[in-house]
Amino acid sequence: MSATAAALAHADDLADFVAASPSSFHAAAEVARRLTAAGFTSLDETAPWSVEPGARQLVVRDGAVVAWIVPGGATADTPFHIFGAHSDSPGFKLKPQPTTGRAGWLQAGVEIYGGPLLNSWLDRELRLAGRLVLDDGYSVLTATGPLLRLPQLAIHLDREANDHLALHKQTQTQPVWGLGNAASADLLAELAAAGPDVDPARIRGYDIVTADAAHGAVFGKDDAFFASGRLDDLASVHAGLVALEAHEHADASHIATLAVFDHEEVGSGTRTGAAGPFLADVIERIQLGLGADREQQLRALAASWCVSSDVGHSVHPNYVEKHDPVVQPLLGSGPILKINANQRYATDAAGAAAWHGWCEAAGVTSQEFVSNNAVPCGSTIGPITATRLGIRTVDVGIPILSMHSARELAGTADLLALSRAAAAFFAG
Ligand code: ZN
């Protein structure tokens, strides 16, 4: 099936969103920028909030963001429809004293962040991006252009490279970014100059990650494929963002909410991760603004839903045996409903039924994902959110290949289909 003009336009917009989001901090800021342009007000966590019926508001906490639309007829016990996703992706993070090098090369000292497919990061131009915290306590975002590369050893120097490529996680993962002597170079100065041009001497701390510099692109027969870095999980963040931008709220019976968490790739147990208090705090402050007492708060939560969206595995033609023999979601055949008996995904029968209803309302075909019993199952923010808040939760996403590669592969049509399902979830 050919990708429609609308699906191609959505994929283009996603490619721009991913390019603007080389780090979780940038992703949260880009969500805020776009929603502010759509009439949302950005709130400060340290200031008093005024939340009223009709409000379109958001709050950024570092690399996480929550945004919501309170319908005009909202009351103290109006429930929430929360679309959840995560802003971080596997890769590398700058170590302290990151300007290193040997043998005439400048290198960057990096730690491995999450579980990247290390081989996929070889021979790509990489950016550095994240935040610098200055001597006055303020932080600024910064992102370089293509600056680094992890060059693979030539086949002539390792004749067995095609039999067993294994990278030493310390000695063979330090990218090059120039020529010269580390003693007379300063990687932080490069980062300072790439942002709002701050004096590098003012940098007191930094959270800086690597990002593939290449732009997302549609390709394949009938434009079936979309390749990009960070589809996990910016494809979901973007799907929810586009749905919230377009959400008409006048007569909705719930508070449409987009919750984007950081640190999913390292377990979510942080103040900006799904296991932290961020979403619960925001929900409570919205409820307090609407005048809710404790019972009204709990009644609203009991009637709320969370759709947790993260990428899942499409069947791979070269490794079909890794998948369930019957349930084999395929790129381009729609978003997936993720199911796991051991609750690595939060989906249950009620969640499955609700999800199918939202997909039907959106005119979207959904597929199912379940693991092969002999292959361990991943997990995501859904079970964590359900455990923390007690809100009914369903795990969904788009099927992809090359998960945790520097450049992942999605089905073009699925990207728009997920966003349409998110819109139907916000609408009803
Ligand atoms: Zn993910």
Half-sphere exposure of 12 (CA within 13 A, CB side): 7
> What's the gap in Å between 330 CA and the centre of ligand 1?
18
Q: pLDDT value at position 248?
A: 84
The arrangement of strands across the sheet holding 41-43 comes to: 41-43, 56-61, 64-69, 255-261, 80-86, 305-309, 392-397, 336-338, 367-369
Q: pLDDT value at position 2?
A: 63
One DSSP character per residue, 141-203 reads EEE-SS-BBBPPPPGGG-TTTTT-----TTTT---EEEES-GGG--HHHHHHHHTT---GGGE
- Cα four-point dihedral sign 257, 228, 18, 8: negative
> What's the gap in Å between 232 CA and the centre of ligand 1?
5
> What's the gap in Å between 236 CA and the centre of ligand 1?
9
pLDDT level of residue 369 (50, 70, 90 thresholds) = very high
Q: pLDDT value at position 295?
A: 98
Task: Give the Cα separation of 138 and 135 in Å (integer).
Answer: 7
> What's the gap in Å between 317 CA and the centre of ligand 1?
22
pLDDT exceeds 90 at position 123: yes
- The topology (CATH level 3) of 91-157+164-212 is Aminopeptidase i, Domain 2 (2.30.250)
Q: pLDDT value at position 279?
A: 97
pLDDT exceeds 70 at position 412: yes
pLDDT exceeds 80 at position 157: yes
> What's the gap in Å between 300 CA and the centre of ligand 1?
28
pLDDT exceeds 90 at position 245: yes
141-167 mean pLDDT = 94
> What's the gap in Å between 184 CA and the centre of ligand 1?
39
> What's the gap in Å between 129 CA and the centre of ligand 1?
19
Q: pLDDT value at position 214?
A: 98
> What's the gap in Å between 247 CA and the centre of ligand 1?
25
What pLDDT, in 10s, does the model give residues 287-345?
999 999 999 999 999 999 999 999 999 999 999 999 999 999 999 999 999 999 999 99
Q: Start-end ranges of CATH 2.30.250.10 in the chain?
A: 91-157+164-212
What pLDDT, in 10s, does the model give residues 62-105?
999 999 999 999 999 999 999 999 999 999 999 999 999 999 99
**Arithmetic mean of pLDDT over the chain:** 96
Q: pLDDT value at position 252?
A: 82
In contact, 266 and 89? CB cutoff 8 Å: no
Q: Start-end ranges of CATH 3.40.630.10 in the chain?
A: 5-89+229-427
pLDDT exceeds 70 at position 3: yes
> What's the gap in Å between 344 CA and the centre of ligand 1?
13
Q: pLDDT value at position 379?
A: 85
> What's the gap in Å between 380 CA and the centre of ligand 1?
6
What pLDDT, in 10s, does the model give residues 372-393?
999 988 888 888 988 999 999 9
Task: Give the Cα separation of 273 and 267 in Å (integer).
Answer: 8
Task: Give the Cα separation of 347 and 336 in Å (integer).
Answer: 11
CATH classification of 5-89+229-427, choosing from 1.10.20.140, 3.90.1170.40, 2.70.150.10, 3.40.630.10? 3.40.630.10
pLDDT level of residue 241 (50, 70, 90 thresholds) = very high
